[in-house]
Amino acid sequence: MTTDANAPWLIVGLGNPGPGYAANRHNVGFMVADLLAERIGGSFKRAQKAQAQVIEGRLGAPGPAGRRVVLAKPMSFMNLSGGPVVGLRDFYKVPTERVVAVHDELDIDYGVLRVKLGGGDNGHNGLKSMTKAMGAEYHRVRFGIGRPPGRMQVADFVLKDFSSAERKELGYFVDRAADAVECLVTEGLERAQSAYNS
C-alpha cells in the first residue's frame, strides 16, 4: 500500500480518562501526549467524530517543513481504545502505518523505550483493542514501567501512581519518549530505533 505523502500522522497516547487515573503508570501515554501538545503549542479539544480529545499541528522543523500530526487521547477507557482510534484514523484519512500508539510496557525496565512497527499486544488491553479494530501494523512507542513487585497483581500495579523514586526521573523519561515520537514521525523508524531503543 502506498502512503499519501501528505497524510498526517495520528499519535495516540493511551490512558484512562478522569483525574483519578491521571498519575497512574497506565497513563504514561497521556503524559507523553500532553508534552507533545505543549511542543505543538495548542490545547486538546473534543473530537467531533470520535470519543477522544485531539489537537492538530506540526512536529519537527518549524513552518511547512514540519510533519502534520493529529495528537489524540481516547476518552473511552483503555480496553475500548480501538473504537476512538479507528474513528480518528478514518476521519483524518490516516494510513494505519502512520498511527503511533504511545503506551506503558510491563516487560521493559522502568524508563527504557522501544520503538517498533507491528507485533503482538503483550496483554496490554489498549493495544488489544486497537489491533482488533484495525490490525497490528501500526507503530508503537513502548514506555517501560517494569514488572509489579512481589505478588502484586498486574492490574493493581498499572493502576497505581508512579512511586516517589520513579517520579524523580519521570519528567526526563516522558521528555525522551516525546523525542522518540518526534524522531519516528520526522526521520523514520530506523532512525528512531537506533537513537532510542536503549
Element spanning 115, H or E: strand 113-117
Rounded to 10 degrees, the C-alpha dihedral 100/102/103/107 comes to 80
Residue 59 near residue 8 (C-beta atoms within 8 A): no
Contacts of 20 (CB under 8 A, 6+ apart): none
Reduced to 3 states (helix: H, G, I; strand: E, B; else coil), residue 99 is: strand
For the question of residue 26 being annotated catalytic, the response is: yes
Give the active site residue among 26, 103, 124, 139.
26
Question: Which DSSP string corresponds to 119-169?
Answer: ---TT-HHHHHHHHHH-S-SEEEEEE--PPSTT--HHHHHTSBPPHHHHHH
Element spanning 71, H or E: strand 67-74
Active site residues: 26
